[in-house]
Amino acid sequence: MQLGMIGLGRMGANIVRRIVRDGHTAVGYERHPGPIADLEAEMPGQFRGTTDLADFVGMLEVPRVVWVMIPAGATGAVIDELTPLLEPGDIIIDGGNSRYHEDIKRAKALEPTGIHYLDIGTSGGVFGLQRGFCLMIGGNREDVDYLAPLLSSIAPGYESGVRTPGRTGEPTEFEQGYLLCGPHGAGHFVKMVHNGIEYGAMGAYAEGLNILAHADAGREYVDGEHSAEETPMENPEYYMYDLDIPAITEVWRRGSVVASWLLDLTAAALVADPNLDSYSGRVSDSGEGRWTIEAAIDVGVPVPVLSAALYERFSSRGQALYADKMLSAMRKAFGGHNELPQK
Amino acid sequence: MQLGMIGLGRMGANIVRRIVRDGHTAVGYERHPGPIADLEAEMPGQFRGTTDLADFVGMLEVPRVVWVMIPAGATGAVIDELTPLLEPGDIIIDGGNSRYHEDIKRAKALEPTGIHYLDIGTSGGVFGLQRGFCLMIGGNREDVDYLAPLLSSIAPGYESGVRTPGRTGEPTEFEQGYLLCGPHGAGHFVKMVHNGIEYGAMGAYAEGLNILAHADAGREYVDGEHSAEETPMENPEYYMYDLDIPAITEVWRRGSVVASWLLDLTAAALVADPNLDSYSGRVSDSGEGRWTIEAAIDVGVPVPVLSAALYERFSSRGQALYADKMLSAMRKAFGGHNELPQK
Amino acid sequence: MQLGMIGLGRMGANIVRRIVRDGHTAVGYERHPGPIADLEAEMPGQFRGTTDLADFVGMLEVPRVVWVMIPAGATGAVIDELTPLLEPGDIIIDGGNSRYHEDIKRAKALEPTGIHYLDIGTSGGVFGLQRGFCLMIGGNREDVDYLAPLLSSIAPGYESGVRTPGRTGEPTEFEQGYLLCGPHGAGHFVKMVHNGIEYGAMGAYAEGLNILAHADAGREYVDGEHSAEETPMENPEYYMYDLDIPAITEVWRRGSVVASWLLDLTAAALVADPNLDSYSGRVSDSGEGRWTIEAAIDVGVPVPVLSAALYERFSSRGQALYADKMLSAMRKAFGGHNELPQK
Amino acid sequence: MQLGMIGLGRMGANIVRRIVRDGHTAVGYERHPGPIADLEAEMPGQFRGTTDLADFVGMLEVPRVVWVMIPAGATGAVIDELTPLLEPGDIIIDGGNSRYHEDIKRAKALEPTGIHYLDIGTSGGVFGLQRGFCLMIGGNREDVDYLAPLLSSIAPGYESGVRTPGRTGEPTEFEQGYLLCGPHGAGHFVKMVHNGIEYGAMGAYAEGLNILAHADAGREYVDGEHSAEETPMENPEYYMYDLDIPAITEVWRRGSVVASWLLDLTAAALVADPNLDSYSGRVSDSGEGRWTIEAAIDVGVPVPVLSAALYERFSSRGQALYADKMLSAMRKAFGGHNELPQK
C-alpha cells in the first residue's frame, strides 16, 4: 500500500520508515529538499519525495492517502492548500497535535468535497521507530478498515506487550496499538487526555524525586544560619540522607508499582546527567496539557492532579512572579515582615 | 489589674499599651534594656520593666499573670526558667505562635505545680494597637473569667464590628474579640487554622491579581518571537488589556464580595509601591501554614486550597527547581525537546 | 438622569431603587407584568415599566441609556432585538455575567450602528441595595463620564470605606466604587477574576472550618473500630477538641487577619443554621470561576488555589465518582485491597 | 541460606516461596497455625513454622535472620518481644510499611544489644511472587552484603528489565532490584516516597479517564434540563463522544508515553469490570501517602500533584462534606443562591 506523507521531520520520517520496512511504499512532501534526498537514499525504490505539493499529489495512487505530520499551527494552511488538489474518495489524515475542535470543523468542511478525513493522535516520541506508534483515531470505520495494512505497520503490534489477563480470542485492533476511538475529533481528544495524564504522571515522579533530593535538608538546616522569618525545622534528624537518585530510579524499574516507560526514560536521563546540570528547569508545555484542563472544566470534572502538573510548568518559567511579589507585599503590610534575602 | 509581659517586641509592647490605656498596669521583662526605658518613658507610673527574670517575678502582684510573647522557638526555654520562680495559682499565658502540641504537653507538665496555663493565639499584626487583637484561647473557664478585664482591653471590643444579623441579647465574649475555644491547645489550634485560611485567602488574591497583571499577554504574544516548543496562543485578541491593579483593588474594597481586611492592606501596599518593585517574590512561611496541612492530613480532611497556597510559597523560594529540571530531562528523553532558553 | 432597565429581578430592581433614591428616574422592561406593577407602586412617579420592548424604547429620553440585567444566556438575544430599535448615540450596558469575549464581539458588531456599548461587571449580591454595587466597567471614557450621575448612585460611594493610607486629594472614581477598567470586555474580565478570587477565598474558609469541624477526630478514632485498610492515627490525643465554629467565625470578625465580608456572611449563616443542616453540600458554580481558570491557562499563569476551589465544587456534585472508582479498582488490582464499606 | 519470617500473610509467604525456589530454607512464625501447615505442605523440607516465638528463635541458625512482615501497627510490639530472645550479631529486618521515624529510633535502641537492624521497603503487591519484590533498604553495607543471597532471590533480578541505555559493566545490585539507600530509615523513606509517587500517578490516570468517561457531557447537556444555578455549556457539540475506556487503556499500553505497570493493571481491572460497577468509589489510603506530604512540608518542597492525589482519596470518603455545606451556605448568604437539588 502507498502512503503520502506531508512533513518529513522525525515523526513523519519514522512513520515512513516503519511502513517501508513492511513492504509498503511512500511519497513525501517537504518544503526543504534536504530530508527528501536523505530518505530517498535510505529507502531506494520505496520512497520518493518532492518539494512541490501538486507534484506530490500527482505521485500518489488513487485513492490518495495523505498523512499530514507537521506542527499544529501549520496544519490548517497546508490542508487548505491540499484540498482542491484532491478528489472524492481520497483520504486526509491529520497525525499532528491539532486541537480536536479543528478536526470537527475540518471534517464538516470537507464533507461536501467527498474527501475523507481522519484525525490520528500519534504517541511514541523519539522511540516510535523502534517501539511503534500508539494511534488514537477519530473518523469512520470504513476508512480505518481500508488503512489497516498501513496502521498495523505503524503501530507497535500485538506482540509488543503481554496480553492483558482476561482477554481472549483474536487480538483486537487496539491490542495491536491502534484504535478507532469514535467520530471525527475523537482521536485527538483521546490523545489530548493521554498527554494530560502524561503531565500528571511526570509531575508525580518529579515531585517525589524532589523530596528525595532534599532528604538532606536536616543537615543543611543544622549547619546553616536561620532568619527569624523562616520556619524552624522541628526534626532535622529525620532529614540526614544523601540519596542516590539515579540508583533509586533504577531499582524502582524492577518489581515496583511505579515501573513505567517514563521511569525507564528518567533512569536513562539520569545516567546521562546524574545531577541534571544540563537543565535550567524552565519546562515547556504544549497545547494538549492546557486543552485537557479546559475540557475537564467544560464537562465539570475535577482534575487537581493534572492542573497541578500544568501549573508547575508555568511556575518553572517564572509566571508566578507577580503573585509571589504580591504575597510578600501582603505579608509586609499586615505583619511588618521583610522578605528573605535572595540566596 | 496588672499584667506581666515577657517580650517587649511590637506585639508585646502593643498589648501593654492597650491595657494601660484602659487603666491597667504592666510589668515587662526583656533581655535588652532599650525597649524597657522607652516604654517606661511612654507610660510613666503604669509600666515598669526589668532585664532580670527574678526581679520581674518579684514585681508582680499575686496571683501573677505572666504573658509570654516571644518567638515560638524561645518560648519553651523561658517558661522552663520562669516556672520555678512562680507559685501555685499564678497564670502563665503563651501568646506566641507555638504549635499547639506544645501547649498540651506544657499544661500537663505544669499541672502538678498548681500553676495555671493558657494558650492564647493572638492575631492582629502591626495594626493590633489600633484595631485590637483577636484572641483565641485554650485553657480553663475560671482563668478566662479571672482575666476578663485584661482580655477585654486587649481585644477589639464589641463596637469594633457590626453585629451579625440574628444575634441578640448581651454581647458574648467572642463578640468582643476573645474566645475560650476549648481546653489546652485549643487556642493555638484555632489560631493555626486561622493562619492556614489566611494563606489560602492570600493565595486567592495573589493568583487573581496575577491574571490581571498578564491581561496584556496577547499583545506580548503578537509582538514577540515564538519557539516551536511554546504553545501558540489561540486568541491573543482576548488578552490586550493594560489593567490598573492598584485601582482595581481599590474599587473592590467598595461593595464587592471580596472586600476584606487583606484587600485593604493590599490596596495600601499598592499605593506605596504600585508595581511591587521593592519585592523579589521570595515568600516566607511560618509554622502555622505547615501545621495546618499536617493537621488536615491527620484528620483526613482535604485541603487543596490551603496546600496550594503553602506550596506557592515554597516554589517562590526556588524549592521546585530539582523537580523542574527533572521534568525537562523527561521531556528531552521521550520527545527530544530542548528546554526553552532563559529569557 | 434617566435609566432604562431591562430585567427587573433582584439585581435590576435594586439598581433602580438606588438611582431613584438619589432623584433619578427609571423605565423598566420585563416580560412579566408582576414586578413592574410592584415597582411602580413602590416608586410612584419615578419608575414606569412595560412588557413591550418597543414601548420601552419609546419611553426613554434620547440619548437612551439601557442597562441589560438578565441571565448571561439570554443577554445576546435581547440585545439583538433591542439594537434595531435604538439610534446612534444611545448606550447599551450589559450589567450581567456575560463572558467578556461576548463584549468584545458585541462592541465590534455595534460599532457601525453608532450605538455605544459598555460592559459593567456588577458585584454586590443581595446586599447591593444597602451597600451599593461595585462596578467594573469596560468601554469608553466619554460614556463613563456621561453616566457618572447614575454610576455614582449605584456604587457604594466614597464614604462606604475608610480611605486607603497614602491616598490623597480628590476621591477618585474607583474610590467611589466604580472603575473604567479598560476597553470593551475589560469590565467583565475584571469581574470574572473577581469571582475567581471569591471562589478561592471561599474555599480557604471552607477548608479551614472543615479542619475545625474534625478537631474531634481523635476521640472518634479512639472510640471507633478500624479496618486494616485504614491509616491508623498516630496521635489521637491531639484531636480531642469540640470546637464552636459559629463562635470562632464571630471572634475572627474582630481584629483578625482573615476578617472579611465573606466571613461576616459566614458568621451570619452559622447563626441561622449552626450545624448547616439545611445544606446538602452540592455546590453550584457559575461561569466566571471556570472562565477565570481558562484565562489563566491562556496567559500561562499558575492558579492552583483558584482551580482547587473550582474542583472542590465539581467534586461536591459527585463528578469525581468515576475517578474514585478507578482508584479503587487500581488498588485492588495491585494490592488486593478491598474497598472500605460505605459508612 | 536460612530466613526466619514473622508473618505469613501474602507478602511474607511469597517472599518465603521465592527464596525456597532458589534453594534456601525458611522458618516461619505466625499466631495462627493454618498458614503454617499449608506452607509446610507446599514446601516440604524447606519450610517449617511455629506459633511460638521462642521456638521460632530456637529453630533459626546463628546468626539469625528475622524478617518481620506484619502490619505497621503491630511491628513494634513484636520486635520488642523478639529482641530479648536474640543474640548479638543476629539481624532483624522490618519489611513492612513502618514510618521511617520508627526505624531511626529502633536502630538506635537496638545498638547497645549488638543486634543488627535493617529496614526494607518492599514493593510488589500481589504480583511479587512472579515479578519479584523491589527492595529499598536502610542500614549497613555489611549486612546487605551478608544477606545478598537472600535479597537477590527476593528481588526481580537483572533479567527482569531491559538495561538502561548508558549503563555498562557488571550489573549493580540496584539493577537486580535491591538497593541500600542509606543508613537506618532510608529504605522506608524511599519506599514512602515511592508510594507518594504511586498516588500521584494513579490520580493522573484516574482523572484523565474520568474526563474520557464524561466525553458525552454535551449530549447529556443538550438532552437534559438545566437550572439557572448551573453553568450553561458553551460548546456541547465538542462533547458528544461515547468512548470505550477499556479499549483506550489497552491501546495506550502499546507504544504510548503513559505505558506503565499501573496501566497494565488498570486495563486488566477494566476487562474484569468494564464499568467499574463493583466499586463504590470510597478510596482508602495507607500511611505512606500522608507521610510523603508531611516529609515534603518538613523539607519545604512543593508537592501539589501528590497532595491532590491524597486529597482526592479523602474526598472520595465524604471528608469534604462539611466544607461543601459551608460553601453552599456562603453562596446562599451573599447571592441568595439555593443549592441544586440532589440528582
Q: How far apart, in whole angstroms, are the C-alpha atoms of residue D322 and residue D343?
A: 19
The pLDDT value recorded for residue A343 is 47
Output the CA–CA distances (angstroms, integers) from residue D6 to A244, D11, D73, D95, D185, in the order listed. Answer: 30, 11, 14, 10, 20
Q: What is the DSSP string of B276-305?
A: -TT--------HHHHHHHHHHHHHT---HH
Output the CA–CA distances (angstroms, integers) from residue D310 to A311, A336, B16, C217, D187, in the order listed. Answer: 18, 35, 45, 18, 22
Those residues of chain B that have pLDDT short of 70 are 228-230, 340-343
**pLDDT tens, residue by residue, B244-266:** 999 999 999 999 999 999 999 99
**Of C205, C230, C336, Cβ closest to residue D284:** C230
- In this prediction, residues D287-315 reach a mean pLDDT of 97
Kind plus residue range of the DSSP H or E element containing D181? strand D178-182
Out of C191, C225, C230, C237, which one is annotated catalytic?
A: C191
Kind plus residue range of the DSSP H or E element containing B181? strand B178-182
Inter-axis angle of helices A261-272 and A245-252, nearest 10: 150
User: In chain D, which residues have their Cβ closer than 8 Å to the Cβ of B320?
Assistant: 301-302
Residue A84 pLDDT exceeds 60: yes
Q: How far apart, in whole angstroms, are the C-alpha atoms of residue A124 and residue A326?
A: 42
DSSP letter at C16 equals H
Is B302–D311 a contact, with Cβ atoms under 8 angstroms apart?
yes
Is C209–D322 a contact, with Cβ atoms under 8 angstroms apart?
yes
**Burial class of residue B163 in the structure, from the number of CB atoms within 10 Å of its CB (0-12 exposed, 13-18 middle, 19+ buried):** middle
**pLDDT tens, residue by residue, C216-238:** 999 989 988 877 666 788 899 99
Helix extents (H) in chain D = 10-21, 33-42, 53-58, 72-82, 100-110, 128-131, 141-154, 173-176, 186-213, 217-223, 245-252, 261-272, 287-299, 304-316, 321-335
Q: Is C198 considered catalytic here?
A: yes
Burial D304-320 (b: 16+ CB within 10 A, else e): bbbbbbbbbbbbbbebb
Mark residue D7 as left, alpha or beta (left: phi above 0; alpha: psi -120 to 50; beta: remaining): left
Under DSSP, is residue B5 helix (H, G, I), strand (E, B) or coil?
strand
Write phi, then psi, for B110 (nearest 5 degrees).
Answer: -80, -20
| Residues D190 and A243 sit within 8 Å (Cβ to Cβ) | yes
| Residues A115 and A90 sit within 8 Å (Cβ to Cβ) | yes
**Of A165, A243, A307, Cβ closest to residue D190:** A243
Residue D207 pLDDT exceeds 70: yes
| Residues A314 and C301 sit within 8 Å (Cβ to Cβ) | yes
Beta bridge partners of C182: C138
**pLDDT tens, residue by residue, B117-146:** 999 999 988 889 999 999 999 999 999 999
* C-D contacts (CB, under 8 Å): 225
Chain D interface residues facing chain B, Cβ-Cβ under 8 Å? 257, 290, 293-294, 297-298, 300-304, 307-308, 310-312, 314-315, 317, 319-320, 323, 334
Catalytic residues of D, by residue number, are 191, 198
The pLDDT value recorded for residue A342 is 55
Q: How far apart, in whole angstroms, are the C-alpha atoms of residue D65 and residue D85?
A: 13
**Of B284, B334, B343, Cβ closest to residue A125:** B334
Q: How close is the nearest chain D Cα to the Cα of C128, in Å? A: 10
Q: How far apart, in whole angstroms, are the C-alpha atoms of residue D185 and residue D99?
A: 8
Q: How far apart, in whole angstroms, are the C-alpha atoms of residue B205 and residue A323?
A: 8
Q: How far apart, in whole angstroms, are the C-alpha atoms of residue C208 and residue C249?
A: 11
- In this prediction, residues A298-318 reach a mean pLDDT of 97
Q: How close is the nearest chain B Cα to the Cα of C49, in Å? A: 27
The pLDDT value recorded for residue B340 is 61
- In this prediction, residues D270-274 reach a mean pLDDT of 96
Is D302–B294 a contact, with Cβ atoms under 8 angstroms apart?
no
The pLDDT value recorded for residue C328 is 95
Q: Which of the pair, B127 or A178, is modelled with greater confidence?
A: A178
Dihedral of CA C105/C110/C112/C118: which sign? negative
Grid cell 508547575 is found at: A312
This prediction's pTM: 0.96
User: In chain B, which residues have their Cβ closer than 8 Å to the Cβ of A252?
Assistant: none
Beta bridge partners of B135: B122, B178
Write phi, then psi, for B30 (nearest 5 degrees).
Answer: -160, 145
| Residues D305 and A205 sit within 8 Å (Cβ to Cβ) | no
| Residues C161 and B255 sit within 8 Å (Cβ to Cβ) | no
Residue C295 is placed in which grid cell?
484565562
pLDDT confidence band for A47 (50 / 70 / 90): very high
Q: Give the residue from C101, C207, C297 with the most A CB atoms within 10 Å of its CB, the best one to mutate.
A: C297
**pLDDT tens, residue by residue, A219-261:** 989 988 877 666 778 899 999 999 999 999 999 999 999 999 9
**pLDDT tens, residue by residue, B51-81:** 999 999 999 999 999 999 998 889 999 999 9
Q: How far apart, in whole angstroms, are the C-alpha atoms of residue D103 and residue D108?
A: 8
The distance of Cα A262 from the centroid of its chain, to the nearest Å, equals 12
Provide ipTM, 2 decimals: 0.96
Q: How far apart, in whole angstroms, are the C-alpha atoms of residue C254 and residue B135?
A: 9
The pLDDT value recorded for residue D343 is 47
Burial A89-122 (b: 16+ CB within 10 A, else e): ebbbbbbbbbbbbbbbebbeebeeeebbbbbbbb
**pLDDT tens, residue by residue, C91-142:** 999 999 999 999 999 999 999 999 999 999 999 888 899 999 999 999 999 9
Kind plus residue range of the DSSP H or E element containing A179? strand A178-182
Residue D228 pLDDT exceeds 70: no
| Residues B251 and A306 sit within 8 Å (Cβ to Cβ) | no
Write phi, then psi, for D267 (nearest 5 degrees).
Answer: -60, -40
Output the CA–CA distances (angstroms, integers) from residue A164 to B9, D263, D265, D277, in the order listed. Answer: 68, 10, 8, 20
- In this prediction, residues A298-320 reach a mean pLDDT of 97
Is A320–C302 a contact, with Cβ atoms under 8 angstroms apart?
yes
Q: How many Cα atoms sit within 13 Å of C260 on the Cβ side?
A: 27
Residue B1 is placed in which grid cell?
489589674
Q: How far apart, in whole angstroms, are the C-alpha atoms of residue D120 and residue D117?
A: 10
The distance of Cα B229 from the centroid of its chain, to the nearest Å, equals 42
Nearest CA in chain D to C315: D315
**Of B229, B269, B336, Cβ closest to residue A333:** B269
- In this prediction, residues A319-338 reach a mean pLDDT of 92
Nearest CA in chain B to C272: B166
Those residues of chain C that have pLDDT short of 50 are 343
The pLDDT value recorded for residue D341 is 58
Residue B327 is placed in which grid cell?
521534568
In 3D space, the residue among A324, C286, A177, A66 whose CA is nearest the CA of residue B315 turns out to be A324
| Residues A49 and A29 sit within 8 Å (Cβ to Cβ) | yes
The span from the first CA to the last CA of chain D, in angstroms, equals: 62
Out of B30, B173, B175, B191, which one is annotated catalytic?
A: B191
Quote the strand ranges of chain C, DSSP E. 2-6, 25-29, 47-50, 65-68, 91-94, 116-123, 134-138, 178-182
Q: ∠ CA(D24), CA(D25), CA(D31), 5° rounding?
A: 140
In 3D space, the residue among B298, A278, A299, B228 whose CA is nearest the CA of residue D233 turns out to be A299
**pLDDT tens, residue by residue, A15-42:** 999 999 999 999 999 999 999 999 999 9
Q: How far apart, in whole angstroms, are the C-alpha atoms of residue C25 and residue A143?
A: 67
Q: How far apart, in whole angstroms, are the C-alpha atoms of residue B206 and residue B308?
A: 12
DSSP letter at D220 equals H
Under DSSP, is residue B55 helix (H, G, I), strand (E, B) or coil?
helix
**Which residues, at least 6 apart from B228, have a Cβ–Cβ distance to it below 8 Å?**
A71
| Residues D112 and D179 sit within 8 Å (Cβ to Cβ) | no
Dihedral of CA B58/B60/B64/B70: which sign? negative
**Average pLDDT of every residue of chain D:** 95
**Of B233, B244, B300, Cβ closest to residue C298:** B233
| Residues B198 and C257 sit within 8 Å (Cβ to Cβ) | yes
**Which residues, at least 6 apart from B261, have a Cβ–Cβ distance to it below 8 Å?**
A334, C257, C258, C259, C260
Q: How close is the nearest chain D Cα to the Cα of B105, in Å? A: 21
